[in-house]
Amino acid sequence: MAIFSVYVVNKAGGLIYQLDHYAPRAEAEKTFGFPLELVLRPHDERVLVAFGQRDGIRVGHAVLAINGIDVNGRYTSDGKDVLEYLNNPANYPVAIRFGRPRLSSNEKLMLASMFHSLFAIGSQLSPEQGSSGIEMLETDTFKLHCFQTLTGIKFVVLADPRQSGIDSLLRKIYEIYSDFALKNPFYSLEMPIRCELFDQNLKLALEVAEKAGPFGPGL
Amino acid sequence: MTVHNLYIFDRNGICLHYSEWNRKKQAGISKEEEFKLMYGMLFSIRSFVSKMSPVDMKDGFLSFQTSKYKLHYYETPTGLKVVMNTDLGVGNIRDVLHQIYSYLYVDYVVKNPLCNLNETIQSELFRNKLDTFVRGLPFFSARAG
């Protein structure tokens, strides 16, 4: 059981706090001969697998390291273009490590504002009167839970689909936010939360919630 | 329990079919606008979900719920999307959405040479079969009429 991450979005759709609590690593390293059995394509300053799944390498995975040395976006550590390097037969055999690309802080901001509008559209397209926005979004690998306060702040928690007790966790996070962010005299409203006490108490609450296990507290 | 409405989109975002049974609130915009908004939302959710997921996904987006309704989503490998809105009491209905695709869409649209595949479905037979099928679902309550 796990809680993957927490996002706090202000009423304008800006991300004011983000925490990655638990990130399962899926990385695969393999030595290749020339030519490569995978199709690689540059995308958003990364080199991604576009076609060809094998040995734990999946479509969408990014090149993380070549011959054990981490790459820097689309470039190798010594500044050469990754795709050019891999097109040169003289560099083979080569060991490449692949993994799911990590979200950059810019992408996190973008995803937070994206969810902000999805939330609004979800309520506009409702077939029933007086519907809220998206409260829970389910996929096969995670569930997203969202709690919007009366003042418009959204607390979003990503967790394992079987994790329970998220509703009380969301209320708890709201409480921690009111106690440690809002009562902090150096905190200005709607701005990113940089407050150690908030951090500590949030992490504590996440650990308590995770211990509740798959079937909730009391079982 | 009740079924509110059903959308079928093709892979280009064209709304092939729309029907409603027990819808209490209209979106307040024209139907074409509503289909575009719905497809845009689903398209964004797909990309949102694939980026947010901590591990690689198989089926991807399944459903979301608000305080009043639940939206169920099923997508075939060819990009056909079946979307059904129900109330909150309905659990996982992936198999039902798959049946709408495989028994109704494939049998009465794909196998009908007179049906054009990338425009709104005109077939009266498909409409009737779909209506009967949805009204026969165990979570389609009788009072919905």
Answer whether B48 sits within 8 Å of A134, measured CB to CB.
Answer: no
Beta strands in A143-191 (DSSP E): 143-148, 154-159
Answer whether B62 sits within 8 Å of A117, measured CB to CB.
Answer: no
Q: How far apart are CA A6 and CA A166, in angstroms?
A: 11
Q: Taking 60 as the threshold, does the pLDDT of residue A216 lie above it?
A: no
Q: How far does CA B32 lie from the centroid of its chain?
A: 16
Provide the whole-model pTM: 0.91
pLDDT score of B144: 46
Answer whether B62 sits within 8 Å of A140, measured CB to CB.
Answer: yes
DSSP 3-state of A47:
strand
Q: Taking 60 as the threshold, does the pLDDT of residue B30 lie above it?
A: yes
How many contacts (CB atoms, under 8 Å) link A and B? 117
Show Cβ contacts of residue B32 under 8 Å, excluding neighbours closer than 6 positions.
none
Tokens of B86: 């129900």
Q: Round the average pLDDT of chain A to a whole number and report it.
A: 91
Q: Taking 50 as the threshold, does the pLDDT of residue A219 lie above it?
A: no
pLDDT tens across A20-58, in order?
998 777 789 999 998 999 999 999 889 999 999 988 899
Q: Which residues of A touch B20 (CB under 8 A)?
A: 127
Give backbone dihedrals phi and psi of A51, rounded to 5 degrees, phi first: -155, 145
Answer whether B20 sits within 8 Å of A137, measured CB to CB.
Answer: no
